[in-house]
Amino acid sequence: EKTLVWFRRDLRSFDHAALHHALRQSRQVYCAFIFDRAILGTLPANDRRVEFIHASLLELDTALRELGGGLIVSHAWAEQAIPQLAAELGVDAVFCNHDYEPQAIARDTAVATALARDGRKLQSYKDHVIFEKDEVLSQSGKPFSVFTPYKNAWLKKLHTELAPTDMPAYEIDTLRAHFAPLQAALSGIPALSELGFEKTNLSELHIPTGMQGGQALFDDFIDRMPDYDSTRDFPAVKGPSYLSVHLRFGTVSIRALVRRALDAMRIGAGGTGAAVWLSELVWRDFYFMILYQHPHVHERAFKPDYDAIVWESGQHAIDLFQAWCDGLTGYPLVDAAMAQLNQTGYMHNRLRMVTASFLIKDLGIDWRWGERYFAEKLNDFDLSANNGGWQWASSSGCDAQPYFRIFNPLTQSEKFDPDGKFIRRYLPQLNKLSGKQIHAPWRVPALELQMAGITLGRDYPHPLLQHDEARARTLQRYAVVKKVS
């Protein structure tokens, strides 16, 4: 038997479900990655993610060569390229890992159909999550739509079905004899420029790529994991793991991360930090499950009544939205957060909640606009988590915050960036304001503003609106859903 392993968002050569099964079941295993024109065609030339993938593929190819194989890489339409490559190589099957996004499911169905025409099969495995689709169900056998009972059932299943020390690791190394050596004609990874993309500021930002990058970030985080619960909400503090982009592209193994968190929890001291971090990984599984079970969330509210909300529209809405995108709302924490996103492709979780809430519940803009902007900009963009986060903020999601809970951008700023350390990093023009003043420059007396070298409207915008008034408008806007909440 010959098999082709199709890599997609799982760019690693260890603990890889599809690769493991292919090596176990076949005599000769080929590996391929397609830069899919269907996806790349929609992205700007300076997309950081393409550079991240490209760098990670170079490393993956080297790693596979060391094991005796190598990576076939092409720039093509995946729906056609995979069946074609399978035919050229004369393989019996194509192996890959499950993808839960509606478009990916449609693509995989098309590939499976094309392969079947030639008597080949597409075989897919669970790899990106611990529990998927319908593996964690309520007692009545239904998918959960509330997180806490889901998490409890998830943890119970983990502890009863998998001994924590025995989280499966998919062995690759001992099966290396089954790799098919790569012929010269098939080798070679196109340069970034050949794909129509350019180098970005990824290396300036010190965002490490590939398996080594993921491992280095994780090693760095392990010592901080015990403090995660107390540090994770403060954007100026190095609290979180920064592993999201690696989880997105599979340069780390979710099983390895969970195994390590469980180890830390067992040790006792610092276990709370590890438990809270594990909870975040459970949220990730939760949103993958929600997207799979309720694919309509991609376009519509999880709770259908929320689709009746009337958002701001016309040029006025476009202007407000643009100011938010550009970090020109006049609310420093919101603007600094948007600058972080625009400059780095990352945004701290607390700030994702603050900026999303501000767009929806202060500016009255449809959450889908914000969702789309994050999807373009985030290095770690994942449809499931991004959609989950936006629907949480707009209160239309499965386990969202109630519609009448509206973040106050000032209180959030004072609480989570008390001295304005984060704000100063991205808005240096406000540097001379004190820790108290920096959250609301418009409240600073004119003379003090002048002494700090700031003219509102020139160095920094006047606030787009007053939060209290916006809050009242939002409560009115959400009145249409009052009866169902």
Pair 409, 334: CB distance under 8 Å: yes
CA distance 418 to 438: 9
Pair 32, 5: CB distance under 8 Å: yes
Buried b (16+ CB within 10 A) or exposed e, 266-276: eeeebbbbbbe
Nearer to ligand FAD, 321 or 390 (CB): 390
CA distance 6 to 73: 10
The one catalytic residue among 311, 312, 431, 448: 311
Residue 414 among the catalytic residues: no
93-97 and 121-125 beta bridge pairing? parallel
CA distance 231 to 312: 36
The one catalytic residue among 77, 342, 349, 376: 349
Q: Least distance from C-beta 284 to ligand FAD, angstroms?
A: 4
Query: What are the structure tokens assigned to 425, written together?
Result: 């990093």
Residue 392 among the catalytic residues: no
Dmax of the chain from CA atoms? 80
Query: What are the structure tokens assigned to 158, written together?
Result: 């983990």
Q: Using CB atoms within 10 A of its CB, is residue 29 exposed (0-12), middle (13-18) or buried (19+)?
A: buried
Q: Least distance from C-beta 387 to ligand FAD, angstroms?
A: 8
Residue 379 among the catalytic residues: no
Nearer to ligand FAD, 23 or 347 (CB): 347
Residues that bind ligand FAD (CB under 6 A): 232, 240-244, 247, 280-281, 283-284, 287, 349, 352-353, 356, 374, 378, 380-382, 385-386, 388-390, 393
Nearer to ligand FAD, 283 or 331 (CB): 283
Pair 420, 444: CB distance under 8 Å: no
Q: Least distance from C-beta 157 to ligand FAD, angstroms?
A: 19
Question: In the complex, which residue's CB is closest to ligand FAD?
Answer: 389
Cα torsion 67, 72, 78, 83 to 10°: value is -90
The one catalytic residue among 6, 154, 277, 283: 283
Residue 342 among the catalytic residues: no
Pair 397, 443: CB distance under 8 Å: no
Residue 311 among the catalytic residues: yes
Nearer to ligand FAD, 54 or 352 (CB): 352
Q: Least distance from C-beta 334 to ligand FAD, angstroms?
A: 13
Nearer to ligand FAD, 32 or 385 (CB): 385
Q: Least distance from C-beta 217 to ligand FAD, angstroms?
A: 9
Residue 201 among the catalytic residues: no
The one catalytic residue among 154, 277, 324, 367: 367
Nearer to ligand FAD, 284 or 467 (CB): 284
Nearer to ligand FAD, 252 or 452 (CB): 252
Q: Least distance from C-beta 73 to ligand FAD, angstroms?
A: 25
Q: Least distance from C-beta 266 to ligand FAD, angstroms?
A: 19
Q: Least distance from C-beta 250 to ligand FAD, angstroms?
A: 12
Nearer to ligand FAD, 135 or 220 (CB): 220
CA distance 65 to 20: 16
The one catalytic residue among 132, 135, 171, 280: 280
Nearer to ligand FAD, 30 or 346 (CB): 346
Q: Least distance from C-beta 475 to ligand FAD, angstroms?
A: 21
Q: Using CB atoms within 10 A of its CB, is residue 469 exposed (0-12), middle (13-18) or buried (19+)?
A: exposed
Quickly count: other Cβ atoms within 10 Å of residue 88's Cβ: 12
List residues with catalytic annotation: 280, 283, 311, 349, 367, 390
